[in-house]
């Protein structure tokens, strides 16, 4: 009886701490007052509506979106062949390669951002947007390699050989046999990468210039000046967007069946 | 043209520094069903992969249909291979698995459908055309893998342990199936097995391998009745194999004088060739077991254990009794090392 009670308590607490803040944010955004408070000061949708009228939010949202989508795609384009090579061939330095690939998540983001600013943007005149794009690609790459690797390791190598004996070239076998069978891993890597990139703060902190700011940085900046509930409303909207993306992906591409 | 359809010449195969097949010469005739038989790890799969082109030989040549294919890549050799694991494509239906090779050849859709349907029919899977391989039984997967290779009408079909993943009943069915397909298509087939009974039952000729070398090559009855070496006899189920020195059988530090002349290094008898109840040797019955038509005896003799069988009706003898036996010259096999 006591064990049952204890386990219920633990589950309830876990849920409270996971979902609680989310609910608080949603409610704080619904406030009718001018400051972010909880419990909310009356009820209205005005802050949710205001989010869409703030010019800088709109710009930074699209920047973040493009960074997340193309950075992740780029990371996958680099990461899938890398993962394939690591899992299929006996490379002499495969452990070292894995470590180097994982470096961007091991090194603190602030340092990555600072390094890019100090050694690419300032001396080489890279645009901030390009530096951001490179940073986000590099950040997502480790996830791409890891997740795709684990799918590849579950895939038997002899299927590719079978395809070759049926007349495929090596590249054809990869496209026709390997890719369709690691689809779920690629999709999982994409979602993970997208979310990582979209919510990225420390790296992007140094990489912002006039008119070029990612959404999280923009929100941070906005909050320093105005402490109204629109940031809470925006956060809630972003959370809904993430849930929707995962839901749609799961619905149409059915990855949860495999992962 | 000679009837050597596939010819392996001085082939040597290695994984890095590990030499697996040191020097292999083998000629396979057109339309024959040949078995590569040998214990696990003797290099059967390796040899097969080399023929298919999945592995480059360290030296030597592979000829198929009088053409040197040693440098021709696997996808251009026109060889079919049924993998031990079947290696079916899990994301494609049975139909699409079989159609895979045809689609690469850019045939018309109606042509593809016709040929795939015919092969699915032949292997008895027409009703499962839409099913994915993971939802099929072992025997069905096996037949699908067979159809997938055969639809391309390869010059040679290689089969790696085609029956080892099936249960005993299915194994018999598949044996018949393979024989039937071979008879119908006249295709040259090479199949790998570590099961002597399978090789004896299926093959026109058997290549017995040991440590990457050919130990003996011949028709099934040749191998069964007249193995040349101690290893061959052991592998083909001779259970009484003894060393000979100066016209005596030696074993366990004891010696028994032979009743006939021989120059062989080893002698072997099948259990049925051992005579019981008469003869000049004696031993103690260690076990008796009834096996349907015959009774199997294990006799503890001075030179070691003797396995013998008699028709079941004979000899109702008990464990522990002393029994006379003979190792006669009829039914003996003379072996070298
Ligand atoms: N990829 C490999 N790398 C290194 N050694 C291998 C590899 N594959 C097989 N071998 C070795 O080669 C020998 C022959 O293997 P194989 O041809 O698979 O034997 P069989 O099919 O007769 O059981 C074995 O000793 C095995 O350990
Ligand atoms: Mg093998």
Predicted confidence at residue A254, as pLDDT, reads 59
Alpha-carbon torsion angle B177, B182, B188, B192, nearest 10 = 20
Is residue B46 lining ligand 1, measured as CB closer than 6 Å?
yes
Q: Which residues of chain B does A178 touch, with a Cβ-Cβ cutoff of 8 Å?
A: none
Domain-embedded: residue A251: yes
Predicted confidence at residue A259, as pLDDT, reads 40
| Range from A4-8, A249-253, B174-178 that averages highest in pLDDT | A4-8
Q: Which residue has the higher pLDDT, A91 or A145?
A: A145
Residues A72 and A27 reside in one and the same domain: no
Token pair for residue A55? 């010019």
Q: Which is it for strands B240-245 and B266-269: parallel, antiparallel or unpaired?
A: antiparallel
Is residue B44 lining ligand 1, measured as CB closer than 6 Å?
yes
Searching chain B, which residue's CA lies closest to the CA of residue A177? B89
Domain boundary among A9, A24, A44: A44
Q: How far off is chain A from B83, nearest CA to CA, in Å?
A: 8
Q: What's the A158 CA to ligand 1 centre distance in angstroms?
A: 15
Q: How far off is chain A from B151, nearest CA to CA, in Å?
A: 10
Predicted confidence at residue B113, as pLDDT, reads 95
Residues A135 and A220 reside in one and the same domain: yes
Segment A82-86 mean pLDDT: 90
Looking from the CA of residue B212, the nearest atom of ligand 1 is 14
Closest CA to B125 of B151, B159, B101: B151
Q: Note whether B104 contacts A167, CB cutoff 8 Å.
A: yes
Q: What average pLDDT does the structure give for chain A?
A: 86
Residues A38 and A152 reside in one and the same domain: no
CATH number, domain containing residue A220: 1.10.3720.10
Residues A120 and A7 reside in one and the same domain: no
Q: Which residues of A184-220 are buried (b: 16+ CB within 10 A; e: fewer)?
A: bbbbbbbbbbbbbbbebeebbbbbbeeebbbbbbbbb
Closest CA to B278 of B327, B332, B321: B327
Residues A68 and A194 reside in one and the same domain: yes
Stated pTM of the model: 0.82
Q: How far apart are CA A48 and CA B21, in angstroms?
A: 74
Domain-embedded: residue A182: yes
Q: Which residues of chain B does A162 touch, with a Cβ-Cβ cutoff of 8 Å?
A: 81, 83, 87-89, 148
Domain-embedded: residue A225: yes
3-state secondary structure string, chain A?
A: CHHHHHHHHHHHHHHHHHHHHHHHHHHHHCCCCCCCCCCCCCCCCHHHHHHCCCHHHHHHHHHHHHHHHHHHHHHHHHHHHHHHHHHHCCCCCHHHHHHHHHHHHHCCHHHHHHHHHHHHHHHHCCCHHHHHHHHHHHHHHHHHHHHHHHHHHCCCCHHHHHHHHCCCCHHHHHHHHHHHHCHHHHHHHHHHHHHHHHCCCHHHHHCCECCECCHHHHHHHHHHHCCCCHHHHHHHHHHHHHHHHHHHHHHHHCHHHCC
Is residue B41 lining ligand 1, measured as CB closer than 6 Å?
yes
Residues A80 and A32 reside in one and the same domain: no
Segment A84-97 mean pLDDT: 83
Residues A8 and A110 reside in one and the same domain: no
Q: Which domain holds residue A170?
A: 54-257
| Count of CB atoms situated within 10 Å of the CB of A82 | 19
Q: Note whether A162 contacts B74, CB cutoff 8 Å.
A: no
Alpha-carbon torsion angle A192, A195, A197, A200, nearest 10 = -120
Q: Which residue has the higher pLDDT, A243 or B211?
A: B211
Is residue B164 lining ligand 1, measured as CB closer than 6 Å?
no
Predicted confidence at residue A256, as pLDDT, reads 47
Cα B84 to chain centroid, rounded: 14
Predicted confidence at residue B331, as pLDDT, reads 87
**Atom 14 (ligand 1) nearest CA:** B43
Give the contacts of B5 (CB within 8 A, at least 6 positions apart): B28, B29, B30, B31, B64, B65, B155, B156, B188
Residues A64 and A35 reside in one and the same domain: no
**Range scoring the smallest mean pLDDT among A63-77, A89-103, B109-123, B215-229:** A89-103
Residue A160 has pLDDT above 90, yes or no: yes
Predicted confidence at residue B8, as pLDDT, reads 95
Closest CA to B274 of B298, B250, B255: B298
- A164 and B CB contact within 8 Å: yes
Transcribe B151-170 into DSSP letters.
TT--SEEEEESTTTTS-HHH
Predicted confidence at residue B1, as pLDDT, reads 43
Q: What's the A98 CA to ligand 1 centre distance in angstroms?
A: 28
Q: How far apart are CA B235 and CA B229, in angstroms?
A: 10
Q: Note whether B83 contacts A162, CB cutoff 8 Å.
A: yes
Q: Note whether A158 contacts B91, CB cutoff 8 Å.
A: no
Look up the ipTM and state it.
0.84
- A92 and B CB contact within 8 Å: no
**pLDDT level of residue A94 (50, 70, 90 thresholds):** confident
Residues A8 and A80 reside in one and the same domain: no
Closest CA to A46 of A230, A224, A206, A189: A230
Residues A184 and A115 reside in one and the same domain: yes
Q: Which of A157, A160, A162 to mutate to test the interface with B (most CBs of B within 10 A)?
A: A162
What is the enclosing helix (H) or strand (E) of B202?
A: helix B196-202
Domain-embedded: residue A30: yes
What is the enclosing helix (H) or strand (E) of B54?
A: none
Could you give the count of Cα atoms lying within 13 Å of A42 in the half-sphere of its Cβ?
8
- Number of domains making up chain A: 2
Chain B (25-54) residues lying within 8 Å, Cβ to Cβ, of chain A: 52-54
Residues A15 and A120 reside in one and the same domain: no
pLDDT (tens place) for every residue of chain B, 337 residues total:
456 899 999 999 999 899 999 999 999 999 999 999 999 999 999 999 999 999 999 999 999 998 999 999 999 999 999 999 999 999 999 999 999 999 999 899 999 999 999 999 988 899 999 999 999 998 899 999 999 999 999 999 999 998 887 888 888 888 888 888 888 888 999 999 999 999 999 999 999 999 999 999 999 999 999 999 999 999 998 889 999 988 889 888 888 888 888 888 999 999 989 998 888 888 999 998 888 888 899 999 989 999 999 887 776 778 888 999 999 988 899 999 8
What is the enclosing helix (H) or strand (E) of B290?
A: strand B275-291
Residues A184 and A216 reside in one and the same domain: yes
What is the enclosing helix (H) or strand (E) of B33?
A: strand B33-37
Residue B216, strand partner residues:
B208
Predicted confidence at residue B37, as pLDDT, reads 96
Domain-embedded: residue A80: yes
Domains and CATH numbers, chain B: 4-227 (3.40.50.300), 238-335 (2.40.50.140)
Segment A201-222 mean pLDDT: 85
């Amino acid at each position: 009886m006591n064990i049952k009670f204890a386990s219920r308590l633990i589950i309830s607490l876990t849920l409270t701490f996971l979902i609680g803040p989310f609910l608080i944010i949603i409610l704080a955004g619904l406030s009718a007052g001018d400051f972010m408070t909880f419990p909310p000061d009356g009820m209205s949708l005005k802050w949710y509506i205001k989010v869409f009228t703030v010019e800088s939010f709109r710009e930074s949202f699209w920047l973040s979106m493009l960074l997340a989508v193309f950075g992740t795609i780029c990371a996958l384009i680099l990461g899938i062949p890398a993962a394939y090579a690591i899992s299929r061939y006996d490379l002499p330095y495969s452990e070292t390669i894995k470590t180097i690939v994982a470096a961007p998540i091991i090194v603190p983001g602030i340092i990555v951002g600072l390094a890019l600013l100090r050694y690419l943007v300032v001396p080489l005149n890279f645009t901030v947007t390009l530096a951001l794009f490179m940073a986000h690609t590099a950040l997502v790459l480790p996830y791409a390699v890891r997740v795709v690797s684990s799918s590849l390791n579950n895939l038997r190598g002899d299927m590719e050989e079978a395809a070759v004996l049926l007349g495929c070239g090596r590249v054809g076998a990869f496209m026709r046999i390997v890719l369709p069978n690691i689809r779920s891993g690629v999709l999982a890597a994409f979602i993970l990468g997208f979310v990582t990139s979209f919510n990225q703060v420390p790296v992007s902190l140094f990489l912002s210039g006039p008119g070029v700011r990612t959404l999280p940085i923009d929100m941070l900046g906005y909050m320093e000046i105005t402490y109204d509930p629109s940031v809470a409303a925006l956060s809630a909207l972003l959370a809904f967007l993430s849930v929707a993306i995962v839901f749609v992906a799961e619905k149409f591409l059915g990855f949860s069946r495999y992962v | 043209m000679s009837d050597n359809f596939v010819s392996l010449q001085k082939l040597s195969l290695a994984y890095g520094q590990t030499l697996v097949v040191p020097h292999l010469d083998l000629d396979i005739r057109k339309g024959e069903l040949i078995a590569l038989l040998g214990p696990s790890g003797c290099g059967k799969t390796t040899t097969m992969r080399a023929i298919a082109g999945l592995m480059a030989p360290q030296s030597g040549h592979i000829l198929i249909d009088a053409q040197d294919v040693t440098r021709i890549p696997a996808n251009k050799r026109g060889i079919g291979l049924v993998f031990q694991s079947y290696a079916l494509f899990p994301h494609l239906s049975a139909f699409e698995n079989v159609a895979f090779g045809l689609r690469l050849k850019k045939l018309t859709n109606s042509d593809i459908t016709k040929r795939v349907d015919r092969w699915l029919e032949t292997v008895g899977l027409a009703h499962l055309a839409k099913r994915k391989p993971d939802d099929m039984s072992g025997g069905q997967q096996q037949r699908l893998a067979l159809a997938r290779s055969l639809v391309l009408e390869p010059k040679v079909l290689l089969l790696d342990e085609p029956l080892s993943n099936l249960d005993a009943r299915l194994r018999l069915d598949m044996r018949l199936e393979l024989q039937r397909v071979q008879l119908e298509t006249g295709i040259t087939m090479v199949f790998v097995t570590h099961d002597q009974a399978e090789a004896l039952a299926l093959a026109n000729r058997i290549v017995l391998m040991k440590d990457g070398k050919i130990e003996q090559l011949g028709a099934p009855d040749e191998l069964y009745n007249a193995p040349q070496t101690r290893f061959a006899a052991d592998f083909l189920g001779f259970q009484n194999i003894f060393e000979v020195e100066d016209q005596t059988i030696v074993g366990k530090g004891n010696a028994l004088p032979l009743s006939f002349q021989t120059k062989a290094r080893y002698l072997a008898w099948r259990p049925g060739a051992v005579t019981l109840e008469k003869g000049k040797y004696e031993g103690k019955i260690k076990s008796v077991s009834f096996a349907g038509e015959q009774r199997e005896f294990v006799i503890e003799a001075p030179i070691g254990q003797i396995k013998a069988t008699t028709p079941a009706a004979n000899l109702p003898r008990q464990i522990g009794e002393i029994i006379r036996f003979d190792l006669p010259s009829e039914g003996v096999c003379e072996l070298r090392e």
